[in-house]
Amino acid sequence: MVHISDGVLAPEVWIAGYMVTGVLLAWTLRKMRAYDIPRLSIITAAVFVASLIHIPIGPTSAHFVLNGFAGVMLGIFSYPSIFIALTLQALLFQHGGITTIGINTVNMGVPALVAHGIFKLGSTTKIQRKEELFGAFAGGAAVFLAVVLLSVALLTTGREFEKVVMLIAAAHVPIILIEAIAVGSIIAFLKKVKPEIIGVKA
């Protein structure tokens, strides 16, 4: 789920996906420095293997995405991170297609950028345990948004939209909850042991 295979979308849709991904990669990579890459590699490794953990739900199965986790941990560099992870997944697992790497990166990477925004904005509030709360919210919201974007992409195939959205969304409820809890817990852990990693002053 969330990864669209080759041959499903019309060429104009996946070409548009590559164009959007190209623009976002150019923007984010211009800001990247060499010292950002080791951290990016570690988080990308987690995103790369996350899709291997999947839960069969009804007639389909849903897997972990970790795009919200990438967004919170990497900020705007989550976009190139997800692009690399999806490229490796497509080449090594045949998970998703080659033509659809661009659109799949949009579907998972844009929510990662939104998750980064949610976490950053949340961190400026005065709420108690704001990092944990907004981290969890960002983690869950990113998966939900990925499902919405996937559904919009599939809408262009002109079939079964409402049924698909409902089924995909339902299949992802456990994933959304688990990822929210996971990201919130990781943030709580990092806040305690290494707060500067998540941009919190000790």
Partner 1 sequence: MRRLIIAALLLLLVSGVACAHRVHIQPEVGRIDIKVYFGGGDPAQNFDVKVYRNVSGVESLYAEGKTNETGWFSFEPTPGGTWRVVAEGLGGHRAETVIDGTVMGGAGSITGEVPLYLRVIAGIGYLVGLAGAATGYMGWKARKGVENDSVP
Considering only residues 10, 94, 121, 127, which one is a binding residue for partner 1 as defined by CB under 8 A?
A: 94
Residues listed for the chain: 202
Q: What are phi and psi of 150, to 5 degrees?
A: -60, -45
CA 129, chain centre distance (Å): 23
Distance CA(7)–CA(171), nearest Å, equals 23
- Is residue 7 a contact residue for partner 1 (CB under 8 A)? yes
R_g of the chain, CA atoms, integer Å? 16
Distance CA(96)–CA(91), nearest Å, equals 9
Mark the segment that binds partner 1 (CB under 8 A) among 15-23, 89-97, 109-117, 135-143. Answer: 89-97
> Is the distance from CB of 160 to CB of 167 less than 8 angstroms?
no
Considering only residues 148, 155, 164, 170, which one is a binding residue for partner 1 as defined by CB under 8 A?
A: 164
- Is residue 181 a contact residue for partner 1 (CB under 8 A)? no
String of contacts with partner 1 for each residue 62-81, x by CB under 8 A: -xx-x---------------
Nearest approach in angstroms of CB 126 to partner 1 is: 27
> Is the distance from CB of 82 to CB of 47 less than 8 angstroms?
yes
The residues of the shown chain that bind partner 1, judged by CB under 8 A, are 1-9, 34-35, 37-46, 48-54, 56, 59-61, 63-64, 66, 84, 88-89, 92-95, 97, 100, 150, 153-154, 160, 164, 167-168, 171, 186, 189-190, 193-194, 197
